Each structure stands twice: as C-alpha cells, then as structure tokens.
Amino acid sequence: MADESEHAEEMTGAEIVLRALKDQGVKDIFGYPGGAVLPIYDELFQQDELNHILVRHEQGAVHAAEGYARSTGKVGVVLVTSGPGATNTVTGLMDALADSIPVVVITGQVPTGLIGSDAFQECDTVGITRSCTKHNYLVRDVNDLARTIHEAFYVATHGRPGPVVVDIPKDVQFATGRYTPPQNVQHKTYRPQTQGDHSAIEAAVRLLASAKRPIFYTGGGVINSGPRAVVALRELAELTGVPVTSTLMGLGGFPASSDQWLGMLGMHGTYEANLAMHDCDVMVCIGARFDDRITGRLDAFSPGSRKIHIDIDPSSINKNVRVDIPVLGDCGLVLEEMVRVWKDGGLSMDREALSHWWEQINVWRARDCLKYRRSDDVIMPQYAIERLYEATKGRDTFITTEVGQHQMWTAQFYRFERPNRLMTSGGLGTMGYGLPAALGVQAANPGALVIDIAGDASIQMNIQELATAIQHQLPVKVFLLNNNYMGMVRQWQELLHGNRLSESYVEAQPDFLELAQAYGWHGIRCTKPADLDEAIREMIEMDKPVFFDCRVANLANCFPMIPAGQAHNEMLLGEDEKDAEQAGV
Amino acid sequence: MTAKEDHLAIPPASTYFMVEEKETEERHTLSVVVDNEPGVLARVIGLFTARGYNIEQLTVSEVHHDRGVSRITIVAKGTPHILEQIRSQLRRLVPVHSVADLTLDGDPIERELALVKVKGEGEKRVEALRLADAFRARVVDAHTGSFVFEITGKTRKVDQFIQLMKPLGLIEVVRTGVAAISRGPEAMKV
C-alpha cells in the first residue's frame, strides 16, 4: 500500500470519487443527476460495481440513505447536483443530524471560477448545510479530493455519527490528480473518546448496586454503537434484574419480549415506564439525550433519582438534565466494562428492594395503559398494527414509519425484538421519511420484508418515490393508516385548542389505490376488521410493491400522553369510552 | 368543563415546556485552537447564533503557520450551565483541537488594543495628551486638530480611557477584542 501512495495513480476527479467510494466498501448509492455532477454520472455509466438508485426527489435520496444506514450500520451515500439538488437534501441532512445517522452526501458545484458569481444552479452549499451537517467540505483541488472523501467517511462514522457533505465543483471532477487510498488517511485532530473512564465506570457500577429502585433508560446510542452494545445491555440487565425502558430511537435495542421490558417512555410512552422513571432512585441513561419529548417538565423530571449518563457526545452530558456520574464513551465498550466490573466485584443488587420495586411496577402494568375499545365495524388503528405485528413476527421484518399518530402507535404496538429493525424520524420528526427510508432498507436487505407504516398526510410528502420502487424492483409495502386527518395535529387541536381543527382535515384526498396502481404498485384496500388478517397476508405474500390502504377510525387519539408542561406522573391515560365514541364506534 | 379539559388548561397551550434560566450570568474568556481551514470561523460563530449564546468579543489569528493552526479568543457571557455547554459544543466541532476556559483555570493575562481618534483644540488637546500619558497610550498620528492614540490593556482600562476621551473630543474608536493567555509555564494543548 505504501508503494501505491508513492507512485500515486493519476485519474480524473470523477474517477477519484468512484474509486474512493468503492475503497470505502460502498455498494449502493442514492441520487439524482444534474449539470454539475454529469462527469461523475458519466463514470457511473461506465462501470458496474456501484449500484445507483435513482430517486425522484433529492430529499428522498437522503432518507433512503438513512434507511440503508440504520438497517445495516454502514454509511448511506447520496449523489446530487448543485443548487436545487443540494438544497433539496437539507431536510434529510437535518434529519440525519438529529438522529445521529452516518450519511455522506456528495454534491456537485459550479466550476470554481464561477463560485460567487450567482451562476446557474449555484448555491452556497457549505454555507447552507453547515448547521445541518456534522461537518462539510468544499473541495477546490483535485489532489485533496480522495483524502477529503475518506475523511468524510471517518467523520460520519466516528464519535456520534452524523451526515457529512462533500461539495465538488465541476472543474475538479474533470481535472486529473492523485488518488490517495483510505489506509493513508487519518483525520488531523478528530479522535472522539470511546473507552469510558475506568473510575467513573466503577463509581457508576457501585451506585447501581446500591439502588433500591433502579431503571435503565436506553436510546439510539445503543443501536448506533452496534451489536456488542446490544449484547452487553442484555447481559447487564440480566445480571442485575433492572427494568429497561427506551426512547423511540432505541426500540429494538432490548427485546420487547423480555420480562424486564417496560415499553417506550416519554410523551406517548407507557404508564409503567414513565412512572418508573419518575419514582426511580438510580437512573442509568445509556445512549440517550434527555430530549424534551422524554423528560416532560424538567423541574419535575425524576426528582428523587441519582443519574448515570453514558454517552459518546460530551455536549449531551448535562445539557438538559444535570447528572451525578457522567461516563463519556461508546455505550458498547462502557457496558462491557460495567459487566466486567460487576462480575469481578461479585456484586449483587438488594434483592428484597428490587422485588418490591417490581411489585410496584407490576401494579402500574396492571393499569394496561395501551387498552383501547375494540370494534367489529371500524378498524381501530391500534388493532391494525397489532394484527400487522402478529402476521409478521415470525419473519425478519424491517419497519419504517412516517411521523404522527401512526408512528407512536407503531412504537406502542409493534414489538421490536432486534436492533436496526425500526427506522423512524425521531429527532426532527420529518413527515415523508418512511417511504424513501423503506426503499433504502430494501436496497440494503434484498429479500427481507420491509413495511412503511404510514399516515395519509405524511405519505404524500414523498409520494413520488413510489416510482423508485418500481424502477429498482424494491418490493416494499406501504401500510397506510388512513384516517383523513393529520391525526396528531388534530389530536393536539382537540386537546389543547378547543377542538378547533384548523387545516388538519385533508379534504382532497387522492384515491390511494388508483394512485398506487398508476405507478405500477399492487393496491389493497381494507375497511373491515374481519377482513384485515386476510388482506395483510395478501400484502406480505406478494413479491412486489404493495400499497395497503387501511381505512381506520378517523378520530382515535394516541394515549397515554403527557401533555405540555406536565411531569411523568401526570400523564393522561386513554379514555377509551370517549375515544371510541368519537371514533364513531 | 369536563375534568379532562380542566386538567389540560395549562397556559401556555404549547407542545413544548418552556423553562426560564434562574442562575446568574458570568463572563468567561475561552481560548480555542482550531485548524485554519475555510469556514472554521463561520462554524464557531454559527454555533453561538444557532444555540442563542452570547458572544461579547472574538479575536482570531493564525498562530502556527506551518501547522495551519489558529487560535481564537472568545469572551462569552452566560450562566455556568450555558458556559459548560459552550465549551462542550465547541469541542464537538470537527476542526477544533482544544478548548480552554481561561477564567475557570485561573486569572489569565488579557490584553486588547484600541485606536482612539480625538479631535480638540487648546486646553482640551493638552488634557487629552496628559491623560494619554497617564494611561501609557501612544500617539500614532498627530495633526494640528487631532490625535490618534494607541492604547493596550485590559478591557476595563481601555473602557476607562475611552470614557475620559469623550468630553475631550472623541471622534471614533476601533478595538481588537481580547487576546488572552494563561499564567505560568504551561502551554495550551494544540
């Protein structure tokens, strides 16, 4: 390899881009061509190692790359043109930044001589994307190009993952320069700490062992850290017998079938998870960030607990909630060391206290907070997801969602056993995420069952990607909970704004079946609970894209819910009577 | 009003819980060592604007040409919690090598330079010169009716000098912002 760098190969910038991607192990890229990236597209045409998936909008390309990354742990790669191509990626970039997803986006730029002249399809890409990327680059010299791309992959995947943009002017794509292989590239200074401080870990383990009412509050960091973190979390939970809850981002990091699983916490989390968070005496936060959807009212958040926070990002520690023992490092490495310290020290929990704690938790569980009124006439949205889960639990299923009520019902009613199986827009809450994300998941996992659980408002925000599925034979399923409303907006309006449903009713709804069929999808419509199982089976068994228009109760609300400005122990539970009545059952 | 509506009637009707900061604000001097690459200053400033932090002074210059390293001195104001966030958010930026809170670490040497233009005749002109002498300000430009003084010192000294020049015919002022360094033999990590 040293030999290779001494007699560095000369090639064009466009060739360097493709070579660098291949050397980074990239197999699939998502993109859309345009004037400022034509040299790279020309190179793509003349090779067949890299598979290019043509989306219908650049936002879709980034979400597809996110789905690809989240379901595999690899980097998702996007290629778009300058100007509008670049600006259309902004929502996707911010989404990836908020959810810590490793994505590398290559944007074309006008030739360096034209930068700053307001040229056709010129925009200040690095300026615009600076605050929605982890880092970004404008490459002005072809000899820096390979190093920059390799560095972009390094930055995207090390420390807290995130999106990186590499902006490449068209003349740099044409110019001839040296190729630098990835082995010779190391970032000058960026070395995030991954190994936790040993004394902090020992203090954390001692505090955990002294707990009478402990809880593990886990997040997306467990999944981002990789399979070792998932194994270590399970081992530590089994060793200690501590109850486990998780954020939306962390679902699947701990198996939902475990007795120790309390369900998701937060605004639409379970009664038992939120009350256990409120009443615990030791909280171990693992790869989560005390988001406002989790904490509710900050000054009433878990008032009696001492808190341990394991995170790779120092700025997440003490940001919203002050913690007693911060452990800076990669969750997987820290959890493994906690297990080691626990075993070596021959530690054990206070069994009596812990069994009292579990008794209390079981009282909360008995409240059965996810209960809803069943109906024989109308499909309740919760029921639809329960049936979908029952029909798919036997196989390896990947779920994506859009944003809104259906997303929260998915988190509540679909039971995730494994990591990397739920792809959802958590931090940014991007409507239109689910369909393109599903395409990315399917591209990364051919043969797997991939279902976008969607809402009728969200799905229309990236509906154009129905065409991408057909062109690239990606047999994803859209399971649409169609209630004719922006359901979560309507729910907030009902509960907080005197039921004045300002602009949340979708009056001119397309006929989704005809729409899907026009794109070449198979369409299924289901309106009766009795037909649901058979219809779901038809969807699953079809080896092509299927659009499932599931007509559900229009006015169902998503409970439990912690309203604004309230604490965990002040949550609203489903008034199933009223809810059912409203839903017209 | 039903019990449920009553329960929800909490002003303001928002999907967010709003908090007020109650801690008192402090002023700290931070030293930030960065790669001298395009956009690095925009990244640092963007962090302050995006997160609503207050930046009072900012001075930047390359300090190691061969290594391409610049040093930024920032005077920032905030509660201890905000200042802690500022430090860790700065550390998170990819081109940032290291961040030191010089105020937390001790009592740093801080200097800034100001050029002060004063216009005046007769007694006022003599008084301005006399005061400049007392403040060890140098005359760097002199005309029959005006002076430009160069003064170096702590922010407070510079403030004081400018205040005194006001009644004596102050025309305009330009200041560099603070450059700061810690005391003792230790260098900051680069």
The mean pLDDT of chain A is 95
Q: Mind listing the domains of chain A with CATH numbers?
A: 2-184 (3.40.50.970), 198-365 (3.40.50.1220), 381-558 (3.40.50.970)
pLDDT for residue B20: 65
pLDDT digits (tens, 9 = 90+) for A64-78: 999 999 999 999 999
Is residue B100 domain-shared with residue B132, that is, in the same domain?
no
Choosing from A11, A15, A30, A58, the catalytic residue is A58
How many structural domains does chain B have?
2
Q: Is A112 on the interface with B (CB under 8 A)?
A: no
Choosing from A10, A22, A120, A581, the catalytic residue is A120
Q: How far is A563 from chain B (nearest CA, A)?
A: 7
CA distance A20 to A13: 10
**Per mean pLDDT, which range of A232-246, A568-582, B32-46, B168-182 is the poorest?**
A568-582
For residue A453, the SS3 value is strand
Q: How far is A160 from chain B (nearest CA, A)?
A: 9
Q: How far is A297 from chain B (nearest CA, A)?
A: 6
Query: What is the ipTM for the molecules in this complex?
Result: 0.86
CATH number (domain holding residue B85): 3.30.70.260
Write out chain B residues lying below 8 Å of A566, CB-based: 10
pLDDT digits (tens, 9 = 90+) for B5-16: 444 444 445 566
Write out chain B residues lying below 8 Å of A130, CB-based: 39, 42-43, 46
- Among residues B90, B105, B120, which one ends one of the domains? B105
Is residue B30 domain-shared with residue B99, that is, in the same domain?
yes
Q: Compare A571 and A517 and report the one with higher pLDDT.
A: A517
Is residue B129 domain-shared with residue B153, that is, in the same domain?
yes
Q: Give domain status of residue B53, yes or no.
A: yes
Q: Is A116 on the interface with B (CB under 8 A)?
A: no
Write out chain B residues lying below 8 Å of A318, CB-based: 81, 84-85
pLDDT digits (tens, 9 = 90+) for A284-316: 999 999 999 999 888 889 999 999 999 999 999
pLDDT for residue A581: 52
For residues B22-44, give the mean pLDDT. 93
Q: Which of residues 43-62 of B touch A (CB under 8 A)?
A: 43, 46, 50
Is residue B119 domain-shared with residue B160, that is, in the same domain?
yes
Q: Give domain status of residue B20, yes or no.
A: no
Could you tell me the pLDDT band of residue A563, with boundaries at 50, 70 and 90?
confident
Task: Mark whether A58 is an active-site residue.
Answer: yes
DSSP class of residue A574 equals P
* 8 Å CB contact of A298 and B39: no
Write out chain A residues lying below 8 Å of B7, CB-based: 563, 572
* 8 Å CB contact of A563 and B10: yes
pLDDT for residue B173: 98
Residue A128 pLDDT > 70, yes or no?
yes
* 8 Å CB contact of A313 and B14: no
Could you tell me the pLDDT band of residue A544, with boundaries at 50, 70 and 90?
very high
Of B8, B85, B89, the CB nearest to A563: B8
**Per mean pLDDT, which range of A30-44, A181-195, A494-508, A516-530 is the poorest?**
A181-195
Residue A545 pLDDT > 60, yes or no?
yes
Q: Give domain status of residue B16, yes or no.
A: no
Write out chain B residues lying below 8 Å of A563, CB-based: 7-8, 10
Interface test with B, best of A139, A405, A496 (most B CBs within 10 A): A496
What is the Cα gyration radius of chain B?
A: 23
Residue A156 pLDDT > 60, yes or no?
yes
Write out chain B residues lying below 8 Å of A497, CB-based: 13
Write out chain A residues lying below 8 Å of B3, CB-based: none
pLDDT digits (tens, 9 = 90+) for A230-279: 999 999 999 999 999 999 999 999 999 999 999 999 999 999 999 999 99
Q: Give domain status of residue B81, yes or no.
A: yes
Residue A582 pLDDT > 60, yes or no?
no
For residues B173-177, give the mean pLDDT. 97
Q: Compare A512 and A583 and report the one with higher pLDDT.
A: A512
Is residue B132 domain-shared with residue B167, that is, in the same domain?
yes
Percent of chain A with pLDDT over 70: 97
Of A298, A318, A497, the CB nearest to B84: A318
For residues A489-505, give the mean pLDDT. 93
CB A548 within 8 A of CB A257: no
pLDDT for residue A571: 86
pLDDT for residue A577: 46
Q: Is A292 on the interface with B (CB under 8 A)?
A: yes
pLDDT digits (tens, 9 = 90+) for A342-351: 999 999 999 9
Distances from the Cα of A177 to the Cα of A147, A171, A360, angstroms: 12, 12, 68
Write out chain A residues lying below 8 Å of B91, CB-based: 314-315
Q: How far is A97 from chain B (nearest CA, A)?
A: 13
Q: Give domain status of residue B18, yes or no.
A: no
Q: Give domain status of residue B38, yes or no.
A: yes
Residue A283 pLDDT > 90, yes or no?
yes
Task: Mark whether A559 is an active-site residue.
Answer: no
What is the count of residue pairs from A and B with beta carbons less than 8 Å apart?
71
CA distance B145 to A331: 69
Is residue B97 domain-shared with residue B165, that is, in the same domain?
no
Residue A428 pLDDT > 80, yes or no?
yes
Distances from the Cα of B149 to the Cα of A324, B146, B153, angstroms: 52, 10, 13
CB A134 within 8 A of CB A194: no
Q: Which of residues 96-155 of B touch A (CB under 8 A)?
A: 96-97
Nearest by Cα to B72 from B44, B53, B104: B44
CB B109 within 8 A of CB B181: yes
- Among residues B73, B105, B137, which one ends one of the domains? B105
Choosing from A59, A94, A134, A170, the catalytic residue is A170
Is residue B152 domain-shared with residue B90, that is, in the same domain?
no
Is residue B45 domain-shared with residue B96, that is, in the same domain?
yes
Residue B57 pLDDT > 70, yes or no?
yes
Residue A203 pLDDT > 80, yes or no?
yes
Q: Give domain status of residue B4, yes or no.
A: no
Sign of CA dihedral A481, B15, A427, A302: negative
Query: What does the block give as tokens for B148?
Result: 């430009």
CB A485 within 8 A of CB A506: yes
Q: Give domain status of residue B138, yes or no.
A: yes
For residues A496-507, give the mean pLDDT. 92
Of B7, B16, B84, the CB nearest to A292: B16
Q: Look-up: residue for tokens 């602009």?
A: A503
For residues B62-83, give the mean pLDDT. 94
CA distance A534 to A527: 12
DSSP class of residue A475 equals -
The mean pLDDT of chain B is 89
Residue A4 pLDDT > 50, yes or no?
no
Sign of CA dihedral A426, A429, A435, A440: negative
Is residue B121 domain-shared with residue B164, that is, in the same domain?
yes
- Domain of B58 in residue numbering reads as 26-105
- Among residues B49, B80, B105, which one ends one of the domains? B105
Is residue B129 domain-shared with residue B156, that is, in the same domain?
yes
Task: Mark whether A121 is an active-site residue.
Answer: yes
Is residue B38 domain-shared with residue B101, that is, in the same domain?
yes
For residues B83-92, give the mean pLDDT. 94
CATH number (domain holding residue B114): 3.30.70.1150
pLDDT for residue A325: 97
